Chain A
Amino acid sequence: GEDVEQSLFLSVREGDSSVINCTYTDSSSTYLYWYKQEPGAGLQLLTYIFSNMDMKQDQRLTVLLNKKDKHLSLRIADTQTGDSAIYFCAESKNYGQNFVFGPGTRLSVLP
């Protein structure tokens, strides 16, 4: 079956880089996503990557995909206090009917 796993907590110092990791089990996943949830808000799409890509960079965000190990990571450079949130990894198939989300990693940025 489909499963997405993440570590639940991560603390970093302001200005450092954060790396949030995710593993998934479904090798037929075509799209992999990172969503951000701030307190009291819905999930906001940060970025996504196609399974035929290894890396995608978007300003301070870098997504790395190791398809062989089914491992996805999100690196946030120069982490700020405004980056404190829960980050969800998710996967879906092409023309898939639902998305599978991980449990979310709560990122705390310390001053």
Chain B
Amino acid sequence: DSGVTQTPKHLITATGQRVTLRCSPRSGDLSVYWYQQSLDQGLQFLIQYYNGEERAKGNILERFSAQQFPDLHSELNLSSLELGDSALYFCASSPRSGANVLTFGAGSRLTVL
């Protein structure tokens, strides 16, 4: 157990729907990162939060949004889902914004039918 908790582990939904993925960082970590892993795109950085504030943005679609709450847990919201959004979504945490080690959760597998 890495200490980073992601829920749900698996999610199956239909095109056009909206889902929320949740992440609780490792105790003491202030920074949360979201990654998307798909077969054809590999591991893609989506967005990073540090202590509640957005710190960096990667290849995140406009249909996707995220936030980090005062208790430091984070949510990734995916809306108007398309078949191509099917992927593993990983959350990772680190102690500081620029810390040199990421600890990953086990991921949330999203299947869009």
Interface residues on B, range: 20 to 34
Q: Of B45, B58, B98, B100, which one neighbours A48 at CB under 8 angstroms? A: B100
Interface residues on A, range: 20 to 34
Contact (Cβ within 8 A) A103 B105: no
Contact (Cβ within 8 A) A96 B90: no
Contact (Cβ within 8 A) B55 A97: yes
Encoded as 1 (CB less than 8 Å from any B CB) or 0, chain A from 16 to 54 comes to 000000000000001101010000111111001000000
- Interface of A, helix, strand, loop or mixed by DSSP: loop
Most B CB within 10 A of own CB, among A40, A42, A45, A96: A42
Q: CB of A98 within 8 A of chain B?
A: yes
Query: What residues of chain B lie closer than 8 Å to A104, measured between beta carbons?
Result: 42-43
Q: CB of A9 within 8 A of chain B?
A: no
Query: What residues of chain B lie closer than 8 Å to A95, measured between beta carbons?
Result: 97-98
Encoded as 1 (CB less than 8 Å from any A CB) or 0, chain B from 63 to 106 comes to 00000000000000000000000000010100001101111111
Q: Which residues of B pack against A, CB within 8 Å?
A: 2, 4, 33, 35, 42-43, 45, 48, 55-56, 58, 90, 92, 97-98, 100-107
Those 10 A-B pairs whose CB atoms lie nearest each other, nearest first: A95-B98, A97-B56, A42-B104, A101-B43, A43-B104, A103-B42, A42-B106, A31-B100, A98-B45, A98-B56
